[in-house]
Amino acid sequence: MPAALINGRVLTESGVVEGKAVLVKDGLILDVIEAAQTPSDAKPRDLKGGLLVPGFIDTQVNGGGGVLFNDAPTVETIATIGAAHRRFGTTGFLPTLISDDLRVVDQAMRATEEAIARGVPGVLGLHIEGPFLNPKRKGIHDAGKFRVIDDEALALLTSLKRGKTLVTLAPERTTPQIIRRLADAGVIVAAGHTNALYATMRQALEHGLTGFTHLFNAMSPLTSREPGAVGAALESPDAWCGIIVDGRHVDPVVLKIALRTRALDRFMLVTDAMPTVGLPDKRFNLQGRDIRVVDGVCVDDHGTLAGSDLDMIGAVRNAIDLLDLSLDDAVMMASHAPASFLGLGHGRGLIAPGYAADLCLLNDRLEVAATWIDGQEG
């Protein structure tokens, strides 16, 4: 028996439509049809006039619900993070491990495999952000953990048996050949915490790098005589750029200028979220440093940014309010754009027949009223 989501407005590829029913069965969207044609055997779910949009996909989630992935890279931690962010519309995510020892990277990879095998809702893979980064752009990362990608690290990074592996690295700290080997093995490679020159970035892009992690933050800037990593990102029509839209990580004016340089579907909203998301307690410990939330961003005692307290529906609202984007474009940057970056755009991130029934119901204030992951409401 299919479920029929009725009496709602539905955000489709052609815009928001009314008078439709979304049929869901076995975790997939069967069809989007006229409500009057809803099969008699379908189980109705009244959306009460709400707005049904594709569920959000967050490729950079360090923590949530009071836990940090680095502290305990386990299935239980992944489940807690997923549950915390689901309340804010995230139906797909990559638990993200910041720079740590290879032993911890291995634990995180095995936990991700097990989480997917157990059916933990929303887990799409793993983001390994470091430790292959540049100390000059370390941000909050512990430079004492940094290392180069040798044969041992390469074997580990290509060992995930379930889900997607995203690796953020500094291209100048490795070689184009290693980037190619990672990409050929199915690893998604992004540049971040990098001081690379433009020429180095171009080489990396030509050898399989396809993303930029938190554009503008912790990377060589665009200047008059050296375009740097930012210049390479904005010039490339094909690579995806993650952006943190909280009004603090990057000035909204800078982001609005960036959005004019290339297609919007190559930008994706990310949270870079920390354990405070979903909790009233806005303090936590990160690898021995006390972190607190100030004006919506996480900082250490020196004011260094340490991720965010942002959630995905908040990022969508900010994209509309701060960047002057339409609802359609903001949701696309939170759903189909990251799905495409992960190589999942053919089956996730849209409300269309054959796509995963990962859905988010919003009220008129753009607050999350309900979510579905693989057709299961929760």
> How confident is the model over 297-331, as pLDDT tens digits?
899 998 898 899 999 999 999 999 999 999 999 99
Q: Kindly compute the dihedral angle of the four CA atoms of residues 308, 79, 341, 157, in this order, to the nearest 10 degrees.
A: 100
Alpha carbons 79 and 112: distance in angstroms, whole number: 10
- Annotated binding residue at 305? yes
CA of residue 343 relative to chain centroid, distance: 13
**Beta-carbon contacts of residue 107 (< 8 Å; ≥ 6 apart):** 73, 74
Domains annotated on the chain, with CATH: 3-53+354-377 (2.30.40.10), 56-341 (3.20.20.140)
Catalytic residues: 272
Alpha carbons 65 and 278: distance in angstroms, whole number: 5
The residue ranges of the chain whose pLDDT is under 50 are none
The model's pLDDT over 117-130, given as tens digits with 9 standing for 90+, comes to 999 999 999 999 99
70 and 274 Cβ atoms separated by less than 8 Å: no
pLDDT of residue 154: 98
70 and 307 Cβ atoms separated by less than 8 Å: no
Alpha carbons 136 and 43: distance in angstroms, whole number: 57
- Annotated binding residue at 191? no
- Annotated binding residue at 139? no
Give φ, ψ of 6 to 5 degrees: -125, 170
Alpha carbons 357 and 373: distance in angstroms, whole number: 6
pLDDT of residue 12: 96
- Annotated binding residue at 218? yes
- Annotated binding residue at 375? no
Query: Which alpha helices (H) appear in the chain, and where do they start and end?
Result: 75-86, 102-118, 151-157, 176-184, 198-206, 228-235, 252-259, 312-323, 327-334, 336-341
Q: Kindly compute the dihedral angle of the four CA atoms of residues 284, 333, 163, 233, in this order, to the nearest 10 degrees.
A: -90
pLDDT of residue 295: 81
